[in-house]
Amino acid sequence: MTKAKIVLLSISVIVLTVSLSLWTKQAQAEWSLEEQLIRETIQTYFDIYYQSYSNLKVEDFGYLVENTTQGYSFFASEFDKRDIEIYHAKLHRLRYQNFEYFLDFEDISTVDKNTQIISVTVTVGHDVVYEVSAPRVSSFRYFLFRTLGSPFLCPGA
């Protein structure tokens, strides 16, 4: 192999390595942004969830859900379930006078790149002061919230 071919081959390998490195960093940055949007959407969902128990009113979270059959089904069942839970909270004076909740995102990963189905695993915990037992704090650690093929709509994604 001539010296010129070796130099040309070396330059090609360097250019390919740099290009691959830049492409990988760009893909990681895009995933980080998408991951942040997913986290923010789920955070907003839980903000609304806990606020519903604070004001004993079922808050609308439909704008967080994709306009699909799966999204609508999730919304309808969650909304109905929450309506019943809020009714019971009113009957038994279980309004949240004060609350603090915690989310620990354990995993956000792509299951199917073609359909962009993701899997999200979040552990949820809270400290709540109920109206009926104030000022005692009720602590709950930890509930595992897992969704596959998330029905949530990620703003900006």
Total count of residues recorded for the chain:
157
**Res 22 pLDDT > 50:** no
Give the pLDDT score at 150: 56
Q: Range with the lowest mean pLDDT among 51-55, 61-65, 153-157?
A: 153-157
| Global model pTM greater than 0.85 | no
Cis-peptide into 142, omega within 30 deg = yes
- Mean pLDDT within 39-60: 94
- Residue 53 buriedness (CB in 10 A; 0-12 / 13-18 / 19+): buried
| Residues pairing with 107 in the sheet | 121
- Mean pLDDT within 9-21: 45
Give the pLDDT score at 102: 93
Element (H, E) at 82: helix 69-91
Among the listed residues 42, 132, 44, 137, the one whose alpha carbon sits nearest the alpha carbon of residue 88 = 132
The overall average pLDDT reported for the chain is 78
Give the pLDDT score at 135: 96
